[in-house]
Structure 1
Amino acid sequence: MNIGIKAIEYVLPEKVLSNDDLAEIYDDWTAEKILIKTGIAKRHVVLEEECASDLAEKAANKIFESGVITPKDVDFIIFATQSPDYQLPTTACILQDKLGIPKTAGAFDFNLGCSAYIYGLAMAKSFIYMGIAKNVLLLTAETYSKYIHPLDKSTRTIFGDAGAATVVCENGHHIGEFDLGTDGSGKNALIIPSGGSRLPRSEVTAIEKEDNGSIRSMDNLYMDGAEVFNFTIEAVPQSVRNILEKHNLNLSDIDLFVFHQANKFMLDFLRKKLKIDKEKFYINIEDIGNTVSATIPIALKRAEEEGRLNKGNIVLITGFGVGLSWGSTIITW
C-alpha cells in the first residue's frame, strides 16, 4: 500500500513577539544576542483566549478549503498536543464537532511534543494499513507560551505557538519505515512540574524562583538546555543511522533532511556531526521559533513551496525532545 502524506497546511497566531520586544525586558540581552544564540528573530504567540484547538481548527480548515479533502471524507482524527483545552474531554472530540467531521470518525489526543509528528505519522499509517481508516487527519498544535514565565530567558526566546494539519491516506507522498525511541529517565529535562495528579498546582508551586538569570515557578515550563543538548547529539545521529539502514540507504541518497527545528545552534551541530551537506539540510526557524510538534510539518510545507522538495525527492525527517523521545522516518515526495 502506498500510504503517504496527501497535504499539509499550517497556521501561526497573529500576535508576534520579536527579539526587540524581549530585549526591552531582558536588560543584558540585545535583540542581536538572542538571534545569535538561538537563530530566532521572532516567534508567534497566542492571545490569552486562544487555545491549541483553535490553531488546529484553522489549519484543518485550510486543508478543506484547498479542496484536497472534505470534512466528510475524514474517518479518523489524531491530535498531538501538550496544550489540551481541558483535562477532559479529549480535544480531538471537540475538533470533530467544530470541523463537521462525521460522528463515525474515530478521534483521540496523544501527549507528546517534539517527536509527536513522527509518532503521529506512524499511527496514521498503521490505521490505514490495518483497514481501520482511509483518510486520517493528523493535527499538531502547541501553545507553550501559556506555560512560560515572561522572565524565563531559556524558554521564552525559543518557543513559539503554531498549528498544522496533515492528511494521511493512500496515494500520498510515501511514508516509509520508522525508528522510534524513548528514554523516560530524562523526564525532568523538559517538564512542567506541577499541574498533574503527581503535584497539583498550589500556592507553594506558584512561588517564583531565580535560576541562572531566569525566573519561573513549578507551574511554568522548565528546560535543562544542557541535558537536552547532550541527549540530542547522542539519540539523533543513531536514529538517522537506524532509519537509513532500515531503508538500505546512505546519507548521500537523501535529497533533504528536515529535523525538528529546536534552535539553530543545535541543528548546525547535528548537521556537522552527521556530515550532511548544508544545501541538503533545511533550517526554518528565524521567523517562527521552535513550534514543538508543528515544526516538521511547517518545514515540509515551506520546503515544498520554496522548491526544495520536488517529485521523487527522498526526505529524512527526525523529531526529538520532551519525554525524552525521538523518531525518524523517510518520505518519498
Structure 2
Amino acid sequence: MQASFGHVRLSHVLTIVPQNLINIDNELNTRYKGDAKKLSQIKKNVGLQYRYEADQETTASDLGEYGAKILFDEFQIDKNSLDAIIVCTQTPDFFMPPTACYLHGKLNLNEKTLAFDINQSCAGYVYGLYIIYSMIENGSCKKILFICGDTWSKFYNPVNKPNLGGDGVSISLIEYSQKEYKSYFDLGSNGKGLKYLFMPFGAFRNTNLKTMEEPEILNKNIKEKQVYMNGLEIFNFATRKEPMAFLQLLKYANCDQNELDYCFFHQANKAIVDMIINRLQIDHDKAPLSINKYGNLGAASIPATLCDTINSHEFPLQKTLKIVLGSFGAGLSWANALISLDTNFICKKVQIYQKEKK
C-alpha cells in the first residue's frame, strides 16, 4: 500500500517514560543469574544499557494522560478543538472499551471528539500516522491527538526472562495545513509470519502450540500475557524487508537519499538497525539510536528517538527537515513514511512521568 498526502503536518511530539530507571548492570545477579557473558552480549548486540519500567499500578494510559495534559497546558492546545483521539497500544487498561474511550473521559474531551484504538505493535506509530493523515486529508478532521506506546514490562516474567523492552508512550498532534507538505507512505503485511512473534495466550483463541509449526515454542514455557519471539526469523525479516521498503518509499516519493536529514528506525535492537543502516549506506549520524537509553519501546521507539534527537522546544528548527520513519514488527507488518518537519514543529526532550500522590 502506497499513499501520498499534501496538507497534513505533524506539529507536536512528546514522549513520556515512567520514573523507575533501570541500569541492566545492576541486574547481573538477579535477572541474568550471574551470567556476565550473557549480559555483555546483550549490551553489545542489543545495545541495551538502561530502560524505564512502570510499577504495577501505572499503565500506558496513565503515561498518555500525563503527556496529553502537558501538551494542552504548556502549548495552549484547546482540547475542544480535537476532532479525534486515537490510541495505539498492546497493553490496554481493558479488553473493552478502547483505551481511547477511557482517555476521552479522563481528559474530559468533547462528545464530538471521536475515540478509537489501533491494534498494532511495533509498526503502530507509522500505521497510526497513515490513518490520521488519511482522515485529515479527506477533510473529515482537522486536528487529531495520537497516543502510542506500551508498558512492555508487564509482558515478561521478571525472573526467568531478560526484559529487552522498555516502557514509554508518545503523544503526537497532527493537524491540517493550508501550506502543502508532501508526505509519502509505504505499508505492508505478511500474516503468514504471525507465528514468529505473538502472544499465544490471554485472549479467546484456544491455542494449540503443536499446530504452530514452531518447534522452539514448545520448550519456552510461555505463560499468559507473555510474548513469544523467534529471534532469528524476526532478525532476518527486519534486515531483509526494511531496506527494500525504504527504497520503495524513496522511489515512490521520487526522493534522493541524500536529501534526507534523518532516518528514524524502530529501535528493535542495535544489531538490526546497524545492519539496515549499513545495507542502505546511510550515514550513522543521520540514523540515531536510542535503545541504549530506553530499551525497545515498541511502537513508541520512533517518536522517542525523535524526541531524543530533536529538542525543538528548546532549540527551534532553523529549516524544514525531511525525515523517514521506518518501522517493522509483529504481524508481520512494516510501514515507512517520508514526512517534513517545519520550523514551527515542537518536540520536547523525553519526559519522566510524575505520578500523582493520592
**TM (normalized to structure 2)?**
0.84
Secondary structure class of the residue paired with 1:282: coil
What is the CA distance between 1:233 and its match in structure 2?
Answer: 1.3
Q: Tell me the amino acid that sits aligned with residue 183 of structure 1.
A: N
Residue aligning to 2:26:
21
% identical equivalent positions: 31
What is the CA distance between 1:183 and its match in structure 2?
Answer: 0.7
Task: Render the CA deviation track for 1:284-305: whole Å, top value 9, x for unaligned.
Answer: 1211111001111111122211
Does the CA-based 8 Å contact 1:4-1:175 persist in structure 2? no
Q: Tell me the amino acid that sits aligned with residue 327 of structure 2.
A: G
Correspondence for 2:235 among 210, 229, 237: 229
Residue aligning to 1:206:
none
Does the CA-based 8 Å contact 2:217-2:228 persist in structure 1? no
Q: Aligned runs of 1:147-186 on 2, under 5 Å?
A: 147-153=155-161, 156=163, 158-171=164-177, 174=181, 176-186=183-193
Does the CA-based 8 Å contact 2:184-2:339 persist in structure 1? no
Residue aligning to 1:145:
153
Residue aligning to 2:328:
320
**CA–CA separation in structure 2 for the residues paired with 1:98 and 1:305:** 28
Alignment of 1:288 onto 2:288:
no
Does the CA-based 8 Å contact 2:7-2:137 persist in structure 1? no
**CA–CA separation in structure 1 for the residues paired with 2:327 and 2:14:** 19
Does the CA-based 8 Å contact 1:173-1:331 persist in structure 2? no
Q: Tell me the amino acid that sits aligned with residue 140 of structure 2.
A: I
Give ranges in structure 2 of 5+ residues lacking alignment: 1-5, 208-215, 342-358
**CA–CA separation in structure 2 for the residues paired with 1:121 and 1:12:** 21
Secondary structure class of the residue paired with 1:131: coil
Secondary structure class of the residue paired with 2:188: strand
Q: Aligned runs of 1:71-110 on 2, under 5 Å?
A: 71-110=79-118
Residue aligning to 2:12:
7
Per mean C-alpha deviation after superposition, the further-off stretch among 58-67 and 212-221 is 212-221
Task: Render the CA deviation track for 1:87-139: whole Å, top value 9, x for unaligned.
Answer: 11111001011112111100101111110010111111111111221110011
Does the CA-based 8 Å contact 2:8-2:136 persist in structure 1? yes
CA 1:292 to 1:175, structure 2 compared with 1: closer, same or farther past 3 Å? farther
**CA–CA separation in structure 2 for the residues paired with 1:29 and 1:215:** 24
Give ranges in structure 1 of 5+ residues lacking alignment: 201-209
Q: Tell me the amino acid that sits aligned with residue 12 of structure 1.
A: V
Does the CA-based 8 Å contact 2:201-2:223 persist in structure 1? no
Runs of 4+ aligned structure 1 residues displaced above 6 Å come to 210-215, 306-309
CA-based RMSD: 2.4
**CA–CA separation in structure 2 for the residues paired with 1:173 and 1:216:** 49
**CA–CA separation in structure 2 for the residues paired with 1:327 and 1:130:** 21
Task: Render the CA deviation track for 1:136-179: whole Å, top value 9, x for unaligned.
Answer: 001102011111112454x51x1001011000002399461110
Alignment of 1:127 onto 2:132:
no
Does the CA-based 8 Å contact 1:7-1:68 persist in structure 2? no
Per mean C-alpha deviation after superposition, the further-off stretch among 178-187 and 11-20 is 11-20
**CA–CA separation in structure 2 for the residues paired with 1:5 and 1:269:** 28
**CA–CA separation in structure 1 for the residues paired with 2:50 and 2:220:** 19
CA 1:309 to 1:221, structure 2 compared with 1: closer, same or farther past 3 Å? farther
